[in-house]
Amino acid sequence: MARSLLAICLIMGLLLASCGRPGPGSPGPGTGGTQSIENKGSDTLVNLALAWAEAYMPLHPEVRISVTGGGSGTGIAAMINGTVDIANASREMKPEEIAAAEKNGITPVEFVVARDAIAVVVHPSNPVSGLTLQQISDIYTGQITNWRQVGGEDRPIVLLSRESNSGTYVYFLENVVRLGQKSDLLFSPDTLLMPSSEGISAEVRQNPNAIGYDGLGYVTPDQKMLAVAPDAAGPYVLPSIATVNDGSYPVSRPLYMYTAGEPAGAIKAYLDWILTDGQVSVLELGFVPLSPSAD
């Protein structure tokens, strides 16, 4: 009899322990009801997401927000697997990602949280000041291999790109390399894949032959941005907040956050803040706020 009672107590203890384990977005043990929000994904968005978290937490000390990068695909996969509350992405979810989420019983909900321009950057000593979209596509597919072919010096072109798990990589491939058309064009095999925006910046700063691309918020003064034109007739336009807002810069995009279903509680409150008061941080970090009133 005593053994039976002991067995029952052990089983009930295990059940209670398993029920009490917090998941993403749940109060942690011993935190006095502190709500944790796990946020992961796009390296383009990571600095902005960190700025949002750092601004929000002092206003809401009951909320703890953890932010990590790793790329859009990494964040979306974590959201699908239920290990993060918010996935950051610099591209829309792919149909296969949506299908994987639905297979897990998750309906992803998309939020556009800011806008961005993708700047094409070179070393400041490079005399080239502008390129057409077709020229950029030809450069990145290996059809143009020397700066002399686009009005520069007789130097080989060194290609820099983000890695394939990056939403910036996907956007650039589809909208610049493939010019927004259904195509099987790929980056040249000579392209150097960099693990982060900072990696592209560092290589461009030290290599006079390099060309790279990055979110506008990651361009530093010691890089030269190229004006981009839809075609040879122009106009050649530099990326800026103004040219994204007026639609004249041809390589711009929305930035996203995704949740597993409609957000509620602390997660909803945080996203509501990002879409309103949080837009001030968007402007400060060189991205484009959703509302001109944040300018």
Residue with tokens 């993403």: 24
pLDDT of 197: 86
- Three-state secondary-structure class, residue 280: helix
Query: How far apart (Å, rounded) are the C-alpha atoms in residues 100 and 80?
Result: 7
Q: Which of 158, 165, 187, 163 is nearest to 174 (CA)?
A: 187
Query: How far apart (Å, rounded) are the C-alpha atoms in residues 38 and 52?
Result: 13
The predicted model scores a pTM of 0.74
Query: How far apart (Å, rounded) are the C-alpha atoms in residues 152 and 2?
Result: 88
Read off the tokens for 2.
């005593």
Neighbours of 232 (CB within 10 A): 9
Per-residue pLDDT band for 97 (boundaries 50, 70, 90) equals very high
Residue 115 has pLDDT above 70, yes or no: yes
Residue 286 has pLDDT above 90, yes or no: no
Are the C-beta atoms of 24 and 83 separated by less than 8 Å?
A: yes
Q: How far is CA 191 from the centre of its chain?
A: 21
Based on DSSP, count helices (H) and strands (E) in the chain, helices before strands. 10, 11
pLDDT of 33: 73
Query: How far apart (Å, rounded) are the C-alpha atoms in residues 180 and 186?
Result: 13
Write down all domains in the chain, each with its CATH number in brackets.
32-115+255-294 (3.40.190.10), 116-252 (3.40.190.10)
pLDDT of 218: 87
Query: How far apart (Å, rounded) are the C-alpha atoms in residues 142 and 70?
Result: 28
Query: How far apart (Å, rounded) are the C-alpha atoms in residues 220 and 198?
Result: 10
* HEC assignment per residue over the chain: CHHHHHHHHHHHHHHHHHHCCCCCCCECCCCCCCEEEEEEECHHHHHHHHHHHHHHHHHCCCEEEEEECCCHHHHHHHHHCCCCCEEEECCCCCHHHHHHHHHCCCCEEEEEEEEEEEEEEECCCCCCCEEEHHHHHHHHCCCCCEHHHHCCCCCECEEEEECCCCHHHHHHHHHHHCCCCCCCCCCCCCCEEECCHHHHHHHHHHCCCEEEEEEHHHCCCCCEECEEECCCCCCCECCCHHHHHCCCCCCEEEEEEEEECCCCHHHHHHHHHHCCCCHHHHHHCCCECCCHHHC
- How many CA atoms within 13 Å lie on the side-chain side of 124? 9
List, for residues 207-264, the tens digit of each pLDDT value. Answer: 999 999 998 988 999 999 999 999 999 899 999 989 998 989 999 999 999 999 999 9
List, for residues 20-43, the tens digit of each pLDDT value. Answer: 334 455 444 334 578 999 999 999
Give, for 66, the enclosing helix (H) or strand (E).
Answer: strand 63-68
